[in-house]
A and B are shown apart, each in its own frame.
Chain A
């Protein structure tokens, strides 16, 4: 089955990102495909490359980057949500004249249309959040 995933909560504060990751991993292991993971609301904070969790804790952003690299999953941060929360890729850095970017590997920033498209193109769009 072709799945879309929506993550609505930030890392560490909330289990949503963990559950979404474990779901995506399990689905892939069972032979399903993940069309896209879309990060909205505080979920965009999953895409920071500047996180430094303690060594005995999971590294949530890196874990997403690795899963995406291994299985060619599209990781998209909502641009409107990202701009509000200071998530910046090199393009956004230039456009909004910021002095840095902070986006992790394999994540990209794009519009909400990408979420709607995931709803249209997949057989199931699954939301993780409250």
Chain B
């Protein structure tokens, strides 16, 4: 269905995930953009800040709220060549989480490094 671009242009894409995985559909639909975008062979990074860090929480179970448990898809992102996942240290700490609570390998960076990541990116999606 999707046609790949043949322009050969590669840009630095950054997907910023700021919201909890459930409660609103933003996080789920953001992941759909990441999956489709992976076919375009761009330089992709994902950032998780604020409540967005909950998206990566281990052992999620949505069976009683009738929504899709898309958290499992994060561990499959590697197959789509999406390998750069950044989590903001302060956001984790404020929520009483550590890297061990997360379901995938990430790089934990502080807010100054996060600022640099955002500044250095060319196309920013903010979900």
Contacts and interface: CB of A to CB of B under 8 A. Distances in A.
Interface string B71-106: 000000000000000000000000000000000000
Contacts, number: 56
A91 interface: no
Interface in B1-35: 1-3, 5, 7, 9, 11, 13, 25-26, 29, 32-33
A113 interface: yes
Given A117-B5, A119-B123, A111 B25 contact: no
Interface of A: 6, 8, 40-41, 80-81, 111-113, 115-117, 119-121, 125, 127, 129
B40 interface: yes
Contact of A111 (B9, B11, B36, B124): B36
Contacts of A111: 1-2, 36
A116 B26 contact: no
Contacts of A115: 33, 37
SS class of chain B's interface: helix, strand, loop or mixed?
mixed
Given A41-B25, A41-B29, A111-B1, A116 B7 contact: no
Interface in B35-76: 36-37, 39-40, 42
Interface residues on chain B, size class: 20 to 34
Contacts of A41: 25-26, 29
A116 B29 contact: no
A113 B126 CA distance: 17
Contacts of A127: 124-126
Contacts of B1: 111, 113
A113 B11 contact: no
Contact of A120 (B26, B29, B32, B123): B123
B5 A120 contact: yes
B113 to A, nearest CB: 22
A120 B2 contact: no
B33 A120 contact: no
A110 to B, nearest CB: 9
Contact of A113 (B2, B13, B123): B2
A113 B2 CA distance: 6
